[in-house]
């Protein structure tokens, strides 16, 4: 298997600091309410686990899995729902948690599907925003870091199922 060069972008400490700040803002925005947090698998699971531990409100957790990358470094543009939400979101406040918003294709697909289920509110929280790659206009209510055109890995983000367990975020370089 080919080894890649990894250039550090954000340390574990920087990520934890940003995660705590995002959780404070989300908790303040929802006050003492109850939200359904939907993580987009697989990449969001590390970030989601950290952010919910810092929320000061009641949460219900669920996951969806959408395929759009395969083993490529860019989205194929075609989304497939591999695992759907298992809870009823009608009339509920929903927060979608993503690892990265890149082209926006995956999230555009997911938000369209979730809106059909009539949630009371639907917001997006992403650890990383990559607006330079955006092909769809996506509302990002909460985000931690903005990156340029780097392909990034670590902290749940992967390249062909590799590098998810890295504690920081790194630019993947050949």
Please give the positions annotated as active site.
102
114-152 CB burial, b ≥16 within 10 A, e <16: beeeebeebbbbbbbbbeebbeeebebbbbbbebeebbb
According to DSSP, the residues that pair with 83 across neighbouring strands are 65
Q: Which helix (H) or strand (E) holds 108?
A: helix 105-115
Tell which residue, 91, 102, 113, 87, has the closest CA to residue 140.
102
């Amino acid at each position: 298997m080919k080894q890649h060069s990894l250039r550090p972008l954000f340390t574990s400490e920087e990520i934890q600091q940003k995660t705590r700040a995002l959780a404070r803002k989300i908790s303040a925005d929802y006050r003492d309410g109850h939200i359904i947090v939907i993580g987009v698998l697989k990449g969001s699971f590390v970030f989601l686990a950290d952010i919910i531990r810092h929320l000061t409100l009641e949460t219900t957790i669920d996951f969806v899995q959408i395929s759009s990358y395969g083993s490529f470094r860019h989205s194929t543009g075609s989304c497939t729902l591999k695992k759907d939400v298992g809870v009823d979101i009608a009339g509920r406040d929903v927060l979608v948690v993503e690892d990265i918003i890149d082209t926006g294709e995956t999230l555009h697909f997911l938000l369209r599907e979730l809106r059909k289920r009539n949630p009371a509110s639907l917001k997006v929280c992403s650890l990383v925003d990559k607006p330079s790659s955006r092909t769809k206009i996506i509302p990002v209510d909460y985000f931690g870091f903005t990156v340029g055109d780097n392909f990034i890995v670590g902290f749940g983000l992967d390249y062909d199922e590799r590098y998810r367990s890295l504690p920081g975020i790194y630019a993947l370089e050949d």
